[in-house]
Amino acid sequence: MTASGGAHVTREVAIVAPTASGKSDIAMAVARATGAHIIAVDAMQVYRGMDIGTAKPTPADQAAVPHHCIDLVDPNERFTVAEFKTHAASARASVQAADAPALFVAGTGLYLTAVIDDLQLPGEWPEVRAELQAEPDTAALFARLQQLDPLAASRCEPSNRRRIERALEVTIGSGQPFSSFGPGTSAYPPSDVQQVGVLWPRETLSRRIEQRVHAMMSAGLLREVQTLTKRFELSREAKQALGYRELLDHLAGRISLDEAIAQIVLHTRQFAVRQERWFRRDPRIEWVTVHEDPVAEVTPRIIALLR
């Protein structure tokens, strides 16, 4: 990324990792040491008021280090990858204008790919999307995608409802396979953004996830969900956020609080596996295996890249 004078290249590094890996702590340590701005790349941190369950940077952290791409919309609004791309472009320009390094903190792989690889995103077909959303059976939608666009289906997790719906929406709405819209997320072109991955032993990360879920409950996650539901009819996307959907089921009387907490832990562990699988496909990522302290073990490498 070249500044307007053409002489300076903004340094950009992305920290990628599954949830509960310590990305935010690493990012804060790096930012304090280098003056970097943090660009959050998280599909749920864009929603105002969804703070505890999304592990959003605290007000103190946001006051200490400039943060971007957080609290962009209310949780009753629909938010798309294309909109995130626009906000991220604006954030990168702001960081460049400040002559500071940029630190992407990425838990949502698709959003990061859209930004650093400049994904060309197809249009939208709301009527088709509404028809697909009315189908309760995700497996049936996946089978339909396998029939209409086998290549796109091979790139989707069978349980990734949002991704399946989007592929079908584009395929049906445009009359062209979703996979025909450029190489998409399966291409890994050269990038000026260097990526560092944080890797934990699976059993250790599993324990960290359980600990964090209980910490979120102690911090008032249930109260946060209650407050949000009094203010908003949450959007379909916001309702899918981990922690929120399970507690919404609890508040609706469908499951007990203990069942909700157990489901949050289980679903978050499953999500972490999907995140890691997504990131591990990218050969451009330099992985650092963490054994005890993510800040001590990963921060020095990122600081070296930014300097």
Read out DSSP for 74-95? -TTS---HHHHHHHHHHHHHHH
Element (H, E) at 13: strand 12-16
pLDDT at 185 (0 to 100)? 66
The amino acid at 136: P
**Residue 273 to residues 167, 239, 244, 276, Cα–Cα distance (Å):** 22, 21, 19, 5
252: exposed, middle or buried (C-beta count within 10 Å: 0-12, 13-18, 19+)? exposed
In Å, what is the CA distance from 61 to each residue of 31, 57, 244? 10, 6, 23
Q: What is the pLDDT of residue 5?
A: 40
Q: Is 43 exposed, middle or buried, given 0-12, 13-18 or 19+ CB atoms closer than 10 A?
A: buried
Rg of the chain, C-alpha, whole Å: 19
- pLDDT for the residue numbered 121: 82
**174: number of Cβ within 10 Å:** 15
* Identity at 307, one-letter amino acid code: R
Which pLDDT tens digits describe the chain residue by residue (307 residues)?
Answer: 433 344 344 499 999 999 999 999 999 999 999 999 999 999 999 999 999 999 999 999 999 999 999 999 999 999 999 999 999 999 999 999 999 999 999 999 999 999 999 888 888 899 999 999 999 999 999 999 999 999 999 988 898 898 899 999 999 999 999 988 765 667 788 999 999 999 999 999 999 999 999 999 999 999 999 999 999 999 988 999 999 999 999 999 999 999 999 999 999 999 999 999 999 999 999 999 999 999 999 999 999 999 8
Other residues' Cβ atoms within 10 Å of the Cβ of residue 195: 21
Beta bridge mates, 194: 13
Residue 307: per-residue pLDDT = 83
Domains and CATH numbers, the chain: 12-119+192-306 (3.40.50.300), 126-184 (1.10.20.140)
**First vs last Cα of the chain: how many Å apart?**
16
What are the strands, taking DSSP E only, across 17-134? 37-41, 67-68, 102-106
pLDDT at 157: 85
Q: For position 182, what pLDDT does the model report?
A: 64
> Residue 165: helix, strand or coil by DSSP?
helix
Which residues touch 297 (CB under 8 Å, ≥6 apart)? 288, 290, 291
Gap between the Cα atoms of 173 and 64, Å rounded: 46
In the prediction, which pLDDT does 179 show? 85
- Amino acid identity of 11? R
**Helix (H) or strand (E) segment spanning residue 289:** strand 285-289
